[in-house]
A and B are shown apart, each in its own frame.
Chain A
Amino acid sequence: MAGNLVQGALFTVMVVRAETLRDPAFEAELGEQVRRSPRFFLNAPVVLDLRGAEEFTREAEFVEARDRLRRHTLTLIGIQNSQPGQAEAAASAGLASFAPNSTQPRGTRPAEPAPTATAAPPRPAPSVAKSRLVTQPVRSGTQIYVRGADLVVAAPVSAGAEIMADGNIHVYGVLRGRALAGASGDAEARIFCSRLEAELVSIAGRYLVSDQLPPEQRGFPVQIALVDDRLTIERN
């Protein structure tokens, strides 16, 4: 009975490094990103990574960070990689503490399990979110974003269309538009397509535009991955 009170769950969350908040270009750049993909960022949860930002020690600073992000429609929900003093201040501001996640190097604090009910062990976490399957052509001007899962398109993706996923992207058809995999930062995500004619491809924020794609790969079935921070394109 008590086991139903709290369940484990997996979520994908964006991470913003606290030290970038100091950068004067931050507001303008973030504003530009949000303007281009408003739905992606609307009410999206954000965790503040405090590595290299030891000066964040007062509750008021966390409140200010939360307000700044809120102005860009983002919701600050927690912190990560904090020093002991920072965690309390963040907690006073209502922010949760997150363990370092798999795409980042482990911090000094050991990973802690998610809160559980006292009486019975929690139900097992629900399996990873189901991939989204699209079978109709993705027309120019259409934006698709799959949060926390893969996107599979069994149809052509037109020029002027934008497909994004936190996971992998598979296009069983010609990819003419923009494809952004690992949209929340997962550098292991990949893009697969039956015919590469994309306007832009991106994994975890690194991107190549059409002009930068190797000419010998255009028009062929390829697999795109991020290796050592560079996008690699291999024939499938």
Chain B
Amino acid sequence: MGEKGEVFLARVIVLTSGKGGVGKTTSAAAIAAGLALRGKRTVVIDFDVGLRNLDLVMGCERRVVFDFINVINGDAKLNQALIKDKRNDNLYIFPTSQTRDKEALRRDGVERVLDELKENFDYIVCDSPAGIEHGAITALYFADSAIVVTNPEVSSVRDSDRILGILASKSRRAEHNLEPVDMHLLLTRYSLERAKKGEMMSVEDVKEILSIPLLGVIPESESVLRASNTGTPVAFDQESPAGRAYLDAVARFVGEQREMRFVQPERRSIFRTLFGRA
């Protein structure tokens, strides 16, 4: 941990939101896949002890032997628990326990595991549970960067605001007065049509309330449900608008400039206009 001259140390990224069901796990999987596609050695960790989903979304639920809690408790070694993704050699998944609950996440154990992971990876993506209690706080505690996943909807925006306050006060960087956690907004399940009709908050509305840089806008897309059900991170789906949006977000995260697609009206074919599909 910490900044040691020019040496690039693994960056810990947390996907958090406060609100449940906004797309943290989908986004964690997609962003980890996006980073791996760029040649970065990436591990994605499930912090949602007791309600684990990451293994399903990544398609490795049938290969889980040992998990995060086993490693924290010393019952297994890290390399026994890590699962290599079959589609990309740079991508690893670290599942969590389904039988325990979040009390099993001890901060010192998590720190030890993260330190070990930092030696072997470029990016460590932490998929946080919903809420603002122990599980969510542990997931964000060691983060260098935070991607706050938000739906363009009032409850989600309020909860994201809350989690931003918590990142600024209860993260390790905040407690030790280090450079603050680098925060980004990821707007998910966005529909331009509904925003124009006033049924949904606009990108500008959300940006104004949350006042953090926008990393990306992920359009509402059926491909996301398909991706979850087939255990394929949506970023691997080249034809999906959501997948492409995630890849754009990853590009911006590593410093590239990308235009925001899906927030300008897209040219629509006559069939789409007739049948009104997004």
Contacts and interface: CB of A to CB of B under 8 A. Distances in A.
Interface in A91-138: 136-138
A156 B211 contact: yes
A196 to B, nearest CB: 16
Interface residues of B, number: 12
A167 B108 CA distance: 43
Interface of A: 136-142, 155-156, 158-161, 176
B211 A140 contact: no
A158 B209 contact: yes
Nearest to A141: B162
B158 A159 contact: yes
A160 B161 contact: yes
B158 A136 contact: no
Nearest to A158: B161
Interface of B (DSSP majority class):
helix
Contacts of B159: 140
B30 interface: no
Contacts, number: 34
Contact of B162 (A136, A139, A176): A139
Interface string B141-178: 00000000000000000110110111011000000000
A142 B132 CA distance: 13
Contacts of A158: 161, 165, 209
A160 B158 contact: yes
Given A140-B165, A141-B161, A141-B165, 14 more contacts: A136-B168, A137-B211, A139-B164, A140-B158, A140-B159, A140-B161, A141-B132, A141-B162, A142-B169, A158-B165, A159-B161, A160-B161, A160-B162, A161-B165
A138 to B, nearest CB: 8
**Max chain B CB contacts within 10 Å: which of A136, A155, A176?**
A136
Contacts of A139: 161-162, 164-165, 168
Nearest to B167: A139
B137 to A, nearest CB: 13
A159 B155 CA distance: 11
